[in-house]
Amino acid sequence: MRIRGARLIASSAVEALQIVAQDSSAKDKENFVTQLSDAARVLLETRPTAVSLPNGIRYVMHRVNAAKANATSVAEIRQVAIKAADDFVELTRTAVGRIGEIGAKRIRDGDVVLTHCNSSAAISVLTTAWKLGKKFETFVTETRPRFQGHLTAHALARAGIPVTLILDDAVRYFIQDVDTVLVGADAITANGALVNKVGTSMIALAAHEANVEVFVAAESYKFSPETMIGELVEIEERDPSEMISNQELRKIGRVKVRNPSFDLTPPKFIDLIITERGIIPPLGAMLVLQEVFGIVTPEELREYQTYRIDEA
């Protein structure tokens, strides 16, 4: 949790792979790619829900494996790996800025916007709208148990945007005062469902009940190719000690504690998804997946899944 947010998680994983490539002492192509593949396996296991991480690793490894066939030296493949990592990190940076520009058009003067957790894309939309001269207010949930909402509140307040920090459980109490819900994404499935910080689905349900729009700000590398053939996004459960100390738990007695980090919001509760490629309805997620990854059949997807490391 020292690195938070899907974009930073993905960028950090790719940068870690880049460090392995830079520091490798392998003398031949096979050993070099094997070292990168071993590192990729470790990184892929670190955060199962944030699909941006495996997509970033695959971005680099696809180019490494392609270069391996024609390269004459380790140095050539090393440069491919380093450049691919730099390109992906730059992509994550420019995508957030572009989402801010596109999404800012959907923020109106006088709006009250509610956001949850800590999303760089959602923050980009709000701060860009504010820089454009639009005047609005925000509600920010604390986002327990790790209080990522405090980071969002600080970022928005620093930009000059009026912020009200509220309990997660108070969303339904305040939802009648809200015009738009704006959240980020840890993953988008092929049918347009949203995997995001736990509590998002309840917020979307409350917004649906109150006839409040729900916007999602999500970079295209957060769309999950595996869901095109029915694979499910794994929901990460974290240590119960984030919720309650072991000492307090012993006082309570024989109580089971579960701490899911994410939940799934059905596409019917989402009005639109803001990407760096434009605004789409949730059902447009499949088109984004096909455009970004070029995958249209289960066979192509299986090839996509294998080339991440297995070709090494």
Question: What residue numbers bound the domain in which 185 lies?
Answer: 98-293
Dihedral-angle region of residue 110 (phi above 0 means left; psi in -120 to 50 means alpha; beta otherwise) = left
* Same-domain status, 91 and 103: no
Q: How far apart are CA 243 and CA 202, in angstroms?
A: 19
Q: How far apart are CA 41 and CA 194, in angstroms?
A: 26
Q: How far apart are CA 312 and CA 306, in angstroms?
A: 10
pLDDT at 128: 98
* Same-domain status, 133 and 194: yes
Neighbouring CB atoms inside 10 A of 97's CB total 14
What residues form DSSP beta bridges with 182?
215
Residue 1 lies in a domain: no
* Same-domain status, 113 and 182: yes
pTM of the model: 0.81
* Same-domain status, 231 and 143: yes
* Same-domain status, 202 and 231: yes
Share of residues in the chain with pLDDT > 70 (%): 92
User: 50 pLDDT band (50/70/90 cuts)?
Assistant: low
Tokens representing 226 are: 């595996």
CATH of the domain at 25: 1.20.120.420
Active-site residue set = 117, 186
Q: What is the 3-state secondary structure (H, E, C) of 13-43?
A: HHHHHHHHHHHCCCCCHHHHHHHHHHHHHHH
Of the two residues 173 and 222, the one the predictor is more confident about is: 173
* Same-domain status, 21 and 159: no
pLDDT at 304: 52
Mean pLDDT in the chain? 90
* Same-domain status, 132 and 281: yes
Model pLDDT for residues 107-135, shown as the tens digit of each residue: 999 999 999 999 999 999 999 999 999 99
pLDDT at 308: 43
Domain count, the chain: 2
